[in-house]
Amino acid sequence: MPGMTARSRAERHRASTPLELFFDLCFVVAVAQAGGRLLHAVAEGHAATGIVSYAAVFFAIWWAWVNFTWFASAYDTDDPLYRVVTFVQITGVLIFAAGVPRAFDAGDWTIGVVGYVVMRLALTSQWLRAAYCTRGAERRVALRYAVGITVVQLGWIAMLLLTDDTGGARAAVFAVLVLAEMSVPAIAERDRPTSWHPRHIGERYGLFTIIVLGETIAAATVAVQEALDEHRAFGELLPIAVGGLLIVFSAWWIYFAVPIHDYLRGSREAFIWGYGHYLIFGSAAAIGAGIEVAVEEAVGKAHVSDTVAAAAVTVPSALFLLTVWALHARHFKRDLAEQLSLPVAALAILACTFAGEWAVLAAGLVAAATVIVEVALSRRPAVTG
């Protein structure tokens, strides 16, 4: 059996593998579960608690994906053992997805933590294999990852011992464990980064963005279809459907306007960019839930005002634009006009919240106009001194 050695950062034509794409698709189940629970929470008038639960659940989904993605970028051997261990990780993802409703609605993380244990046992074995097959600083990095992941996972298991009578202790422990999770890579790679591949990482994040946006379209389509079948409210639903599509299409266009791999030159840029995608992925998935809320409000099923229903779409849409600008697009802007286009668009989309039944359509038109402006600005001749 071949050893597990690091792949070269200079490797040409490094692309996502079919196994990585399969891994990503399995996360759709968990993303759909989180979005569905957010929909029900907001539609029932529990937006604040729903957003908090969604943020916690989506962090767990996103972080599991991040752990695998960066490891695979550095150590993907694609041999039989690697594939089998990845299948075990996928099994853990599906177990976690089954526990999302309980974690979301009742704060019961038991099934979710079991799924994480399965994923972490598999990932830790991958890091130990990498440590066994390497020497020196590279081996130390792999061992730090294995130890760090194991220690934090023990923390998640210990969190289950805290009962509801403990008050805010579980929430505090959850926050501490989140910080501990995100510190493991920084500690493990403090003196030597892993050999992740910039072009490959850029492609992996882009593909997961597509998958999340695809889930958003799927969820919104089902919501519109069910509303039409039950209520025949074509006139009320058409503006929401058109506006939702314009938002999602524009989100895709804006995210992929520039390639990111040339910016990811070192670990500092990569950490900030990679961690920041929690907001990009989370807001993209929340757009779908928001469109579903708007549909249910339009046909009288949601127990919220039209302003709250509109905000369920406009707030995550604006957050998506602002985060893409902050992490991604602003590094390639040439002047103030280009820099301001996305932040101004985000503010304009937020203002659409108060447009009543036309809010989603108005937000979609703003998003589409933003794409047109971005394209026009990017095609101007460069000013030379």
For residue 228, the number of C-alpha atoms closer than 13 Å in the C-beta half-sphere is 12
Domains of the chain, earliest start first: 18-188 (no CATH), 198-378 (1.20.1410)
Report the 10 Å Cβ neighbour count for 143.
17
Kindly tell me the sign of the dihedral angle through the C-alpha atoms of 90, 96, 100, 104: negative
pLDDT digits (tens, 9 = 90+) for 163-207: 655 557 788 889 999 999 999 999 999 888 898 888 899 999 999
Tokens 């989904």 correspond to 61
Four-point Cα dihedral 300, 47, 213, 21, nearest 10:
-130
* Spatial distance between the Cα atoms of 152 and 241, rounded to a whole number of angstroms: 43
Residue 1: its pLDDT value, please?
A: 46
CB–CB of 231/299 below 8 Å? yes
Chain Cα centroid distance, residue 35: 12
* Cα pseudo-dihedral 24, 29, 33, 38, rounded to 10: 40
Give CA–CA dist 258/260, Å, rounded: 6
Handedness of CA 170, 176, 182, 184 (dihedral sign): negative
Q: Are 86 and 24 contacting, i.e. CB atoms less than 8 angstroms apart?
A: no
AA identity, residue 249: F
pLDDT of residue 335: 85
Per-residue tokens: 227: 């509303």
Q: Which residues of 184-204 are buried (b: 16+ CB within 10 A; e: fewer)?
A: bbeebbeeebbbbbbbbbbbb
pTM of structure: 0.91
Distances (CA, A) of 68 to 20, 72, 149, 225, 263: 9, 6, 12, 36, 22
**pLDDT averaged per 10 residues, the chain (length 385):** 73 87 90 90 90 92 94 90 95 93 88 94 95 91 96 93 68 91 93 89 93 89 79 77 93 90 79 92 94 88 89 96 91 85 96 93 96 88 58
> Measuring CA to CA, how many Å separate 69 from each of 57, 104, 126, 264, 378?
19, 25, 13, 15, 31
Amino acid 94: pLDDT: 94
Nearest to 149, CA basis, from 183, 191, 176, 175: 183
Q: Which element (helix H / strand E) includes 142?
A: helix 136-159
The whole-number pLDDT of residue 385 equals 46
Tell the burial category of 214 from Cβ atoms under 10 Å away from its Cβ (0-12, 13-18, 19+): middle
* Chain position carrying tokens 């053992």: 81
Residue linked to tokens 């279809």 = 225
Euclidean distance between CA atoms 162 and 135, whole angstroms: 41
